[in-house]
Structure 1
Amino acid sequence: MFKFIRSTATVLAVVLGIAGLVLVLYSWRLPPFTGGAQVTENAYVRGYVTIVSPQLSGYVTEVPVSDYETVKAGQLLVQLDKRIFEQKLDQAQATVASQKAALAGSTQQELSARASIHVSEAQLESSKAALIRAQANWNRVEPLVKKGVSTVSDADQARAALDQARAAVSQGQAALEVAHQQLETILVNRGSLQAAVASAEAAVRLADIDLQNTRIVAPRDGRLGEVAVRIGQYVAAGTQLMTIVPRDAWVIANFKETQIHGLTIGQPVTFTVDALQNRTMRGHVERLSPAAGSEFSVLKPDNATGNFTKVAQRISVRISVDPDQDHAADLVPGMSVVVSAGS
């Protein structure tokens, strides 16, 4: 009797050991349970989770949305106090008006300088004509003086008139050169005034951008996460106010490197979603990661030091969700899924 009980216990222990071994082989998909399909539970739904933050600092005056609300692109999410930015815009616009007035004054100065050039040119022509007359008079008087026909006083007057006419011509030429230099100065300063106007107009555009940025709007359609901002709160640039999650969703499946062989772009896959009572859905392999996940970690393993234990690395695979499926709209980022690729 004792031998029979001991024999039964031995057989039961052997059976339990074999069952445990079979269970381990099946769980790890080791031979003879490898099959044609590659399965991983290390897979999750992913999506574009956008953090909404202000570009400006200021007090919150309006929050017209609430937690988990569906919003449209361009819809107002948060309004900051805009009074200071309205005044900055008015100040910038006044500066533009001032710079444009200075530029217009430069245009008037140019017209005046060109008129001065015309006056100087006319005066120079008049001086040249007077010089011609004085030279002709001297040419008549000089021979008469030598012959004693004309008096020395007449000769002195004619000579003085000629010298005076020559001086007037020199003065006219100098005045004309001064007028040209004044015009050149005005034209050179024109570039500075035009640059000042352009700078002032740029300041207006910047002030207008800041004013528009007091309205924080949804960048695209989607659903909001938890709204963390409150009316009256002072927020700084970059403060996380809320998150918005568009409806676009896909699956990231992390396969072991030994499972990657045979996976191809466009290959159909199936996956079950834990949150949807293990409902089976369809998808396709969209892209494979260019490196193992360990290569993207902050602290990379250094296998060249110490004792080495070989560990199978994980390769991420992006899977697109086939459209027009029931409950596809219920997929949200973070859900756990089980992916099966292949037959």
Structure 2
Amino acid sequence: MSQRKKHRKYIINGIVVLIVIAISVYVSIYSLHLGRVEYTDNAQVKRLIVPVHCRVKGYVREICFDEYQPVSKGDTLAIIEDMEYRLEVAQAEANFQQVRADKSAVYTSLQTARNNISVSDASVEEVRVKMENAVTEYNRYHALFAKGAVTREQYEAIKTNRDVAQAHYDMLVHQKRSVVLVKDEHGHQVSQSEALLELSEAHLEMAKLNLSYTVIKAPCDGVTGRKNVQTGQFMQAGDILVDLVDKHDIWVTAYYKESQITRINDGQTVDVKVDACPGVVFKGKVKSISDATGASFSLIPQDNSTGNFVKVQQRIPVRIEFIEENNPVDMQRLRAGMNVECLVNY
């Protein structure tokens, strides 16, 4: 009986030893990473998450997507009620046409003023010739009157003709100056009209741009996230309509201990194991290493100035990008935020 108990005890002890050995082997395989590798399980899959903002305010008239739906760049996601913006475009268009008509009228007035100057030049020249003739005639009659060859009445008539010609000439010269001033004024009005035309055209383009913003489109290829808006909801400019997960850019951010980072360099190959893809080893390479620890990017960085210092080993973010050798079907299974294990080969 005692021999049987002993035998059973040996069997039980042997089974316990085998279990301990199996557990030790399992722990050694999955916890100890021997060889020239640096391991971490503090890593996640990353993708660009692009927020889609509403660029103009208004009520949502139509929503054209569902949650977690694949979309392409340029696809319509939502439509804002656009009646107000259509009226603004019509008003800006009418104002633009009015300013353009005013510019044409001012330009016509400028052309008329230039023509008037040409006419004034011809009139001044004609009167100047007549005035010079009158002055010559006056000088001749003045000499004859001094010799008594003509009567006073003849002399006074010639003098009057000279004075009239001089006055007429002076009047036309002043009129020409007035026409020149009018032409200069119209020239300034043309410049002002051109500036107003550019301003009204800019207002028209802005109104058309705001109208186009009432149709909210996808900025990139990707998959929609949670829907943060409902039909009839009022949106302010800058409100987020939905988040898009960009399907093109994908990488891994691994946080290695500062004691490990000395053996990690750009370009080293990396084996990536994803919890959601058992049995699949993805291949990647080290793209870049952060110049700051992960804690340095926190909203409240660690401050040791008080003297109560406890040394905590910091972690450095390392960007790991997948290479083209990976199976595209397996790559499509990756989602942003998935936990991964990374082994950097050095």
Q: Provide the TM-score with structure 1 as the length reference.
A: 0.88
Q: Secondary structure at the match of 1:175?
A: helix
Tell me how far 1:27 sits from its aligned partner: 11
1:338 maps to: 341
Q: Secondary structure at the match of 1:51?
A: strand
1:315 maps to: 316
1:53 maps to: 53
What letter is aligned with 1:115? N
1:1-343 correspondence to structure 2 within 5 Å: 35-247=35-247, 248-277=249-278, 279-323=280-324, 324-325=326-327, 326-342=329-345
CA distance in 2, matches of 1:80, 1:28: 55
CA distance in 2, matches of 1:238, 1:27: 52
Flag the 1:233–1:278 CA change in 2: closer, same or farther, 3 A: farther
Q: Secondary structure at the match of 1:275?
A: coil
* CA deviation string 1:62-91 (max 9, x = no partner): 112111111111000000011111111111
Q: Secondary structure at the match of 1:225?
A: strand
CA distance in 2, matches of 1:292, 1:314: 6
What letter is aligned with 1:209? L
Deviates more, 1:161-170 or 1:271-280: 271-280
Q: Secondary structure at the match of 2:259?
A: helix
Q: Secondary structure at the match of 2:227?
A: coil
Deviates more, 1:230-239 or 1:132-141: 132-141
Q: Secondary structure at the match of 2:276?
A: helix
Tell me how far 1:125 sits from its aligned partner: 1.4
What letter is aligned with 1:158? I
CA distance in 2, matches of 1:145, 1:228: 108
Flag the 1:84–1:222 CA change in 2: closer, same or farther, 3 A: same
* CA deviation string 1:41-75 (max 9, x = no partner): 11000001111110111011111211111111100
Q: Secondary structure at the match of 1:157?
A: helix
Flag the 1:81–1:254 CA change in 2: closer, same or farther, 3 A: same
Tell me how far 1:228 sits from its aligned partner: 2.2
Q: Secondary structure at the match of 2:108?
A: helix
What letter is aligned with 2:277? L
CA distance in 2, matches of 1:314, 1:220: 33
Flag the 1:208–1:200 CA change in 2: closer, same or farther, 3 A: same
CA distance in 1, matches of 2:164, 2:29: 119
What letter is aligned with 1:312? Q
CA distance in 2, matches of 1:299, 1:34: 37
What letter is aligned with 1:267? Q
Tell me how far 1:140 sits from its aligned partner: 2.5
CA distance in 2, matches of 1:143, 1:251: 114
CA distance in 2, matches of 1:239, 1:142: 95
Q: For the aligned residues, what is the CA RMSD?
A: 2.3
Tell me how far 1:119 sits from its aligned partner: 1.7
Flag the 1:289–1:274 CA change in 2: closer, same or farther, 3 A: same
CA distance in 2, matches of 1:67, 1:217: 15
* CA deviation string 1:8-60 (max 9, x = no partner): xxxxxxx9xxx9xx99x979989xx7742211111000001111110111011
Tell me how far 1:139 sits from its aligned partner: 2.1
Q: Secondary structure at the match of 1:150?
A: coil
Tell me how far 1:276 sits from its aligned partner: 2.1
1:6 maps to: none
* CA deviation string 1:207-244 (max 9, x = no partner): 11101100000111111112222111111112222111
Tell me how far 1:296 sits from its aligned partner: 1.6
Unaligned ranges ≥5, structure 1: 1-14
Q: Secondary structure at the match of 2:79?
A: strand
What letter is aligned with 2:296? E
CA distance in 1, matches of 2:29, 2:305: 31
Unaligned ranges ≥5, structure 2: 1-16
What letter is aligned with 2:151? T
Q: Provide the TM-score with structure 2 as the length reference.
A: 0.87
CA distance in 1, matches of 2:80, 2:215: 6
